[in-house]
Amino acid sequence: MYRNFFSVSGIMLLSRLAGFLRDVMVSAFIGAGMMGDAFAVAIRLPSHFRAIFGEGAFNAAYVPTYLRVYERSDIWAARHFANQIFTLLVMSQIVTLALGWIYMPALVHLLAPGFSAEPEKFALAVKLTRITFPYLFCVTLVTLHSGTLNAHNKFAVPAFAQVLFNLVIMAFLAASFIFPFPNAAFAAAAGVTASGFAQLALLTISARRLHLMEKFARPELTADVRAFFRMFGPAVIGSAGVQIAMFADTIIGSLLPTGGLSSIYYADRLYLLPVGLVGVAAGTVLLPEMSRCFAREDWAGAFTAQNRTLAMTFTLTAPFAVAFIFIPELIVGALFQHGAFHAADTAATASVLRAYGYGLLAVVAINALRSGFQAMGDTRTPMMVSLGALVVNLLLKIVLYKPLGAAGIALATSANAWINLAALAFIGARRFLFQPDAVLKGVAMAAATAAVLLANVALGLEGPFNALGHRLGAFGPLIALALLGMVGAAVYFGAVVGFCRALGVTAAQMGLGRLARKRT
């Protein structure tokens, strides 16, 4: 499991690095003005639909059902099930794509009602979103192929698909001056859709090589297909709750002055780095692992996997949370302040990033707790928890966006994450779907103590390293940030190891005994 986790996480790191370069290009070419706001809507709409009907809900229903069919019967029964779902998925996405193209002005008005006051911005957002919307069709099929490959312990190629997303967009931005695009935003939007076709081609080739490629089949309401839809319905509603909260970010953000929505977008890009590296990687690997264990009635193995994943999640995420909360100005300025992105944009984006940082630990831990329910075929409970948290989230956004601006919207998102996590932990513990052990508690305490130490180091060194960055020229802030990051990583992880030893948590208890033996 650790090998799969770090395989996915390593490729996610590559993807996020490519994503950072992409966002650097987007900030330089498009900036945080009207084009930036319109592009933020254009890239968010297909992403929201993908998250609702694709990655979140689909994986929650498909992977456990596929593995139960596979464990109960054989590969041929599993392949037959996959073929039926593939056919239904293609049909539904064709309908969704057609309706999206026809009713795009209404969708953009729903997502960004504040744009209606600026006809030029609204028209640009509609045009860009029509260009990006076909990405949804491609990436939903990518999600199906990824789920099948993940169920067979093949994680590397599906994870690498996100790298293509960033590389293709960068290529289109770089070529925006060569080809007759009206402006850089149109080039980036075209790159989004082209990246979807590139990802689909990659996953199709991989699935064919492993003889796991789905085929068209006559849809039948077999017991397995019905079981899938019984899980898929609540999973869609649950995923929709999270995405409605993100829709609300865009809707309310569109009511802010120009640049507010862009500050949410750029902060969100940084915030998604640890979410992808840790949270998504944990959920991707843990769901099939726990599903496989539950199918074999290996309860101890399932809970051990969940606890070790949570321990790893807390340890790897805590330093990001500290950085986002205590030195967001340094981070945003070093990464984005150039070209069309100015000092005022840095300050606005940093305030949003700090607010997101308060909820980061909860966001990445939710996937691990949710996996316990989903692996048992229970998608209804996460749905109800998500919808309950959504109500609080929307109320907080409405209350906070006027006095705090974009940062208030992000702060409500963080509060929602903690409510969601607390509810899942409470219900999971009562239903014996979450059983924290002494190792998890020890590692969490060690990570929390090390994080406090790291926060003090970050606050003490921010001023000197910021001054150093200004003296080193154009790339000085980025160099200073990298140096501060290395110092912080050494302090934090050294402290975690020391505190774990003091609390009696060994490498063997974490499942890292083999690594410890290699070091000795």
* Domain residue ranges in the chain: 2-436, 437-511
Q: What is the mean pLDDT of each run of 10 residues along the chain (520 residues)?
A: 71 77 79 78 73 63 83 81 89 88 86 80 89 88 86 81 87 81 85 92 90 84 83 70 66 74 82 79 76 81 86 91 93 80 85 93 87 81 84 87 87 89 91 87 92 93 85 81 92 92 77 50
- Specify the pLDDT at position 488: 93
Alpha helix (H) residue ranges in 210-280: 223-253, 260-274
Report whether 340 contacts 28 (CB < 8 A): yes
Q: Which two tokens stand for residue 332?
A: 């945003």
Residue 240: per-residue pLDDT: 59
d(CA 57, CA 80): 21
pLDDT tens, 320-351?
Answer: 999 999 999 999 988 887 766 778 888 889 99
At residue 518, the pLDDT reads: 46
Q: What is the C-alpha to C-alpha distance for residues 288 and 34, in angstroms, rounded to an integer?
A: 43
- pLDDT of amino acid 512: 61
CA-wise closest residue to 22 among 309, 373, 266, 219: 266
Kindly report whether the global pTM for this prediction surpasses the value 0.85. Answer: no
CB 367 within 8 A of CB 402: no
HSE-CB for 504 with a 13 A CA cutoff? 3
* Phi-psi sector, 67: left (phi>0), alpha (psi -120 to 50), beta: alpha
Provide CB contacts within 8 A for 99, sequence distance 6+.
none
pLDDT of 247: 66
| Residue 459 near residue 326 (C-beta atoms within 8 A) | yes
Cα gap 330→465, rounded to integer Å: 9
